[in-house]
């Protein structure tokens, strides 16, 4: 028994010396070589944050008896008296050990921050609708001061508050107060109005170009009501909307924007997003020449690249040059016409189109003019003979002769294509660049001129073919 008491005393002495907070219990057992010691380690810990100049009562916080002992390990930061009252002295950290009557230890970590000098709310006055909620955020200065605050309402039947969340109960006015742990306060006066029966927007539908924005104007009914709003777009890839009802067009498409009040009244607007308007339009050519019967297309360029490409085409004189909705221009008669292209945004560009007589037709016209001068009837232009003349023009580009490449005479081309005749003849030429120079050369040749002006023929056809930069001409005469 004496050995047991001696060991117990040594253990307790070691505990006090090391400052380890655990309890030791010696168990009296019959004398043996073994001593059983039971320990309880890892004391209970608590964290408290206070502001400079503030105090907290640990006996109340921890629910310990009045016989508990208190020790501060950093009295510069926080002191503690025999009753467990902790007084914050300066910014920093302090540990306070509490030893209870049953021998247990409790460690309290005390964080001391600056006490707030001021507290502010984002609004001094505000309106709310019955049933609406609003969450206040209080701002402390300095920003690193202790954050302990409390909230209260002057009239809880009108507006209640819990952790800064205000709920409007019925019509009237109430003051919402936030108070710091050192008594600093800020107040917001809340005027509670009736919630609306209806909400409407200034537009039921709107069209925007990509990148354009618009802010809706909303109206509540009755007019003396109040509400909070939630805005939503059915497709944010087409149009977005912010908390103020400002929409922004993002891409081509359709979306619906809805505003909802806190009491679930709604209004909706359809938003159609178009491509940006064309800022300019240009053509690859501003002046062209085509032959009668010839077709061509002009190439347009519209900026910006993602602009609306809708355009319209118009001819100043369709009897000279006509143009269809796809921009295909056709030469109708000799002369000039202006082709105008207009974008959906009203931008325009023009091209002057000059319609010329086809070279083959020019040859026939020039020959007939000479025949009339000579008192001879004009020749009829025959399409079937025109086709044969074109074949012969290609043939003489490889063998310039009235003998065909197969060794036969030129007239065999008529029978090969089933065209009967009484009399035929052929004029050929190469190297001339215009109908005028070609006809003039034939007129200077007595043999060619004789065929051109012969009254024995009543129809003709002309073919023209270019090869390696050289132009070949053929005129066939037939009766």
What is the rounded average pLDDT for all residues in the chain?
88
Residue 304: cis peptide before it, omega within 30 degrees of 0: yes
pTM of the full predicted structure?
0.51
> Which of 36-40, 230-234, 342-346, 391-395 has the weakest average pLDDT?
36-40
Region 40-53 average pLDDT:
74
pLDDT in tens, 193-240: 999 999 999 999 999 988 899 999 999 999 999 999 999 999 999 999
Alpha-carbon separation of residue 344 from 273, 313, 458 (angstroms): 15, 11, 54
Region 98-118 average pLDDT:
89
The DSSP code sequence of 432-457 is --SHHHHHHHHHHSHHHHHHHT-TT-
pLDDT in tens, 460-475: 999 999 999 999 999 9
pLDDT in tens, 254-295: 999 999 999 999 999 999 998 888 899 999 999 999 988 889
Q: Residue 385 carries which DSSP code?
A: H
What's the pLDDT score for residue 30? Answer: 35
Residue 281, SS3? strand
Region 147-160 average pLDDT:
93
Residue 95 pLDDT > 80: yes
**169 contact partners, CB below 8 Å, separation of at least 6:** 130, 156, 157, 158, 159, 160, 192
How many CB atoms are located within 10 Å of the residue 331 CB?
A: 25
Tokens of 458: 């009543």
Instruction: Provide the percentage of residues in the chain whose pLDDT is more than 70.
Output: 91
């Amino acid at each position: 028994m004496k050995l047991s008491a001696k060991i117990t005393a040594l253990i307790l002495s070691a505990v006090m010396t090391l400052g380890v907070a655990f309890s030791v219990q010696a168990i009296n057992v019959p004398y043996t070589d073994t001593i059983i010691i039971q320990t309880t380690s890892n004391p209970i810990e608590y964290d408290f944050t206070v502001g400079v100049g503030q105090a907290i009562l640990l006996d109340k916080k921890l629910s310990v008896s009045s016989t508990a002992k208190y020790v501060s390990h950093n009295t510069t930061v926080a002191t503690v008296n025999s009753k467990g009252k902790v007084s914050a002295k300066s910014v920093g950290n302090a540990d306070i050990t509490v030893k209870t009557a049953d021998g247990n230890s409790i460690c309290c970590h005390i964080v001391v921050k600056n006490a707030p000098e001021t507290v502010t709310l984002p609004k001094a006055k505000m309106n709310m609708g019955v049933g609406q909620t609003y969450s206040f955020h209080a701002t402390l200065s300095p920003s690193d001061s202790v954050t302990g605050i409390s909230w209260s309402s002057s009239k809880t039947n009108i507006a209640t508050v819990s952790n800064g969340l205000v709920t409007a109960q019925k019509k009237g006015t109430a003051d919402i107060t936030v108070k710091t742990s050192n008594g600093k306060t800020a107040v917001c006066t809340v005027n509670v109005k009736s919630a609306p029966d209806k909400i409407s927007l200034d537009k039921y539908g709107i069209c925007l170009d990509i990148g354009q924005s618009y802010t809706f104007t909303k109206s509540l009914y009755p007019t003396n009501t109040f509400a909070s709003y939630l805005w939503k777009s059915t497709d944010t890839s087409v149009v977005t909307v912010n908390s103020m009802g400002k929409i922004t067009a993002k891409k081509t498409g359709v979306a619906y924007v809805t505003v909802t009040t806190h009491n679930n009244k709604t209004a909706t607007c359809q938003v159609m997003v178009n491509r940006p308007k064309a800022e300019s339009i240009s053509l690859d050519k501003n002046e062209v020449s085509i032959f009668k019967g010839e077709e061509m297309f002009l190439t347009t360029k519209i900026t910006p690249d993602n602009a609306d490409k809708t355009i319209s085409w118009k001819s100043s004189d369709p009897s000279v040059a006509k143009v269809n909705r796809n921009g295909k221009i056709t030469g109708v008669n000799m002369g000039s016409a202006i082709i105008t292209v207009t974008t959906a945004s009203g931008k325009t560009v023009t091209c002057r189109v000059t319609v010329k007589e086809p070279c083959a037709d020019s040859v026939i016209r020039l020959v007939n003019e000479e025949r009339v001068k000579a008192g001879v009837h004009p020749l009829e232009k025959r399409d079937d003979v025109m086709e044969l003349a074109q074949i012969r023009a290609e043939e003489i580009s490889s063998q310039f002769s009235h003998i065909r490449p197969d060794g036969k005479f030129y007239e065999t081309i008529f029978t090969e294509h089933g065209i009967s005749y009484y009399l035929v003849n052929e004029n050929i030429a190469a190297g001339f660049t215009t109908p005028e120079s070609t006809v003039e050369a034939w007129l200077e040749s007595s043999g060619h001129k004789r065929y051109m002006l012969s009254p024995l023929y009543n129809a003709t056809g002309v073919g023209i073919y270019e090869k390696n930069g050289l132009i070949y001409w053929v005129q066939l005469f037939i009766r």
